[in-house]
Structures are given as structure tokens and as C-alpha cells.
Amino acid sequence: MLYYFIFFSLFLLGYLDILRIESSFRKFIFWIFILFFIVMGGIRWETGTDWYAYLNFFERNDSWKEFKESDFEIGFSFINYIIKFLFNSYTALLIPFSFFTISLKANIIVQKDYFKYGIVSLLIYYSYYLGDMFFVRQSLSLSITFFSISYIISRDLKRFILCIVVASLIHVSALLFIFAYPISKINITTGFAVVILITSAIIGYFLSSSNAIMWINNIPFLGSIDQISDKVDVYTDLASSDIDVVGSNIDPRMTVITGAIRKVIVFAPLFFFRKRLEQYVPKFNMYLSLLVFGAVFYFIFGSIIPVFKRAAAFYDCFEILIIPFFLTIFRSAWKRNLTYIVIGAYAFSKFYLVINAYWEVFVPYYSIFSENIIRHLK
């Protein structure tokens, strides 16, 4: 099966990083997969989440007035309008979206500071996001903020803010990444990080057990932002009627618990091996602070408004760069190999959850060249 073949191919090729094969060869392999992801994302048809929501938006609107008056962000609407005006082809929209969504992340991963384990990072990237082959508009927005990390490191505030503005015009939740700039300067201690993570998880659990979402609409600031307020209204209605929220009808308290378990799997080794990781990971403390803030945001705000849970992804994505560096902790070959097997097992668990959550929209993969497409997404 295609998706499993890709995963295990990347896992085996990850040994090229461990064996320290020539960097130029590993970059060749890396870019071959990136090109593959871009092509697959650009030529897909009736494959991926929210397919018809985006397709109908593109096909049913013609004038700029129609696109502008939609519920989508102005930047996303404008791109759709331009492509519709110039090419009148949905595939012509998917190709540049696929290119920028995937290449922006790739250009960070391939940088010298991170490419020591570049193929392993690619494995994590694929496990978390299926290589963005099935991107939605937040995927592009997230790629822009992911790319902006270079401006955080260089302390180029103007370019960082420009990235945030552009990303928010694609998906408004990107505005919440603005906090990354000041947070990146905080050197958070392990003890304090553990305390605020546990505290936020407890707060999130109790908030998810209450009617907190109902009083969010009464906050004046949120009420002044029409787009966010509308989404809060929608989720309030959904919560009241016990309908699926963001693809799941799981008890919010269980979501907090399972989220906490996933965070423990990542943070426990980060804290335990922190001293060693600080020696090998460029700007490790900066990334740790971002990951901790993202987790706190996930627990507290995600438990109140599920749509805010997506905003935590703007911080969580840096696990792509951090997790592979666990391979630097041990010098002996067998310990390094064992570490990689553990990383592979964790990556597979993420991949398995992603692919099975929306199996019916991913399998089989259809492209514009496919015949007899029998899946009709609703």
C-alpha cells in the first residue's frame, strides 16, 4: 500500500543519516522525496480532507466580490480568485499551493544546522503531516510560520511580522504564532516547565468538563473579531448538540488525557537528556520554550474551543527538527540503532493515527489521471 511503502522507505533510508553517508547523496534522496510529495499533492483528485469544501469554493465563485464575501481568509480567497481568473483549473491552484507548502518546510530542514539527520526529519515530517501531500490552507500558513523561525533566530522582527501577516491572510490562526518571538528568548528551566505543563493539563481538564466554551462569546475582544467570533459561535452550537467537532466526537476530557500522554512521550526524554541535547541541537532552549508554550496553549485553550487546538500546531511542528537529534545522545552504535528504532516506532504511531483517522479520504489515492474514480467525498 502506497502510504506504508513511503513510510518504511523513509525509515530504511534514515540509516543513511545514522551511517553518516555523504551529505550530497542524502540531499539528493531528500529532494527526490520532496519533489514526489509536491507532485502528489498537486495532481491529486478527490483525495484528502475537506476536498469538496475547497473545490466548491473554487468552482462556485467567479467574481472577486463572490470570493471576497466568503468565510475564508482574504489572502486565500484572493489566490483562488487569481488562479480561477487566469487558468480556471483547480489543479492549477493545487500545484503552487503544494509547492510552497512543502518547499518552505524543506528549506528549513535542509539547512546545515539540521540536516545532520535530514532524512530522519523527513520521516517525522511525513509521519505528522503525510508530507503535506493533502494540505489544507492551514498547512501553507503553518509552513510560512515554520519558515519564519530563521527570522526569529536572526532577530529580524520586521521580516518575522511580515511572515505572520502573510500566514494569517491564509489562515487566521497563524496570528497566535506572534508570541513565538518573545517566547524564543526565554530560557525555561526544566522544573518550571514541568510545573506549568502539569498545571495547564489540570486546568484544561477541568475547563473541558465545564461550560467554559459558552462564555467565550462574551469576551469583548473576541467578539470584535468577526471571523473568530463566528467560529466560536459554530463550535458553541456543535458542543451543545453533541455533533462532531474538528473531525471527532470524543469526550473533550479524554482528548486532554490522550494529549497529555502524547506530550509526556515527547517532553520526558527532552527533559531527561536536556544537557546533552543542548550540546548538539542549535538553539535547543529556544525550541523547548516554543514546544512548552504550544503544549500549554493546547491544554488550556484547546480544551475550551477545539478550533484553537489547531493553533498549537504552529508550535508543535518544531518537533520535526528536534526529535532526530536524540540520535546524537549515544555514541555506541547499538544504542544509536535502538534509539532510532524507538523514534521509528513513535513516528509510525503518529503516521498510523493520521492515516487511519481519515482512511476513506486517503485510500485509494486518486490523481487527475485516474479513471473510474468511485469515491465521492461529501
Residue 83 has a pLDDT of 96
d(CA 228, CA 310): 13
d(CA 319, CA 366): 30
Alpha-carbon separation of residue 176 from 101, 275, 311, 313 (angstroms): 19, 30, 7, 10
Residue 260 has a pLDDT of 81
Over the stretch 140-149, which tens digit does the pLDDT of each residue have?
999 999 999 9
pTM reported for the whole predicted model: 0.88
SS3 248: strand
User: What pLDDT band is residue 243 in, cutting at 50, 70 and 90?
Assistant: very low
Of the candidates 314, 320, 323, the residue with the CA atom closest to the CA atom of residue 152: 314
The domain locations on the chain are 1-175+330-378, 186-328
d(CA 218, CA 294): 25
Largest Cα–Cα separation, the chain: 63
- Of residues 211 and 286, more confidently modeled: 286
d(CA 1, CA 58): 31
Residue 121 and residue 114 in contact, taking contact as beta carbons nearer than 8 Å: yes
pLDDT tops 80 at residue 96 = yes
Over the stretch 328-369, which tens digit does the pLDDT of each residue have?
988 899 999 999 999 999 999 999 999 998 899 999 999 999
| 150 Cβ contact list (under 8 Å, min separation 6) | 108, 111
Residue 151 has a pLDDT of 96
Q: Is the dihedral of CA 303, 307, 310, 314 positive or negative?
A: negative
C-alpha cell at 221: 475582544
| pLDDT winner (highest mean) among 108-112, 145-149, 172-176 | 145-149
Residue 309 and residue 298 in contact, taking contact as beta carbons nearer than 8 Å: yes
pLDDT tops 60 at residue 248 = no
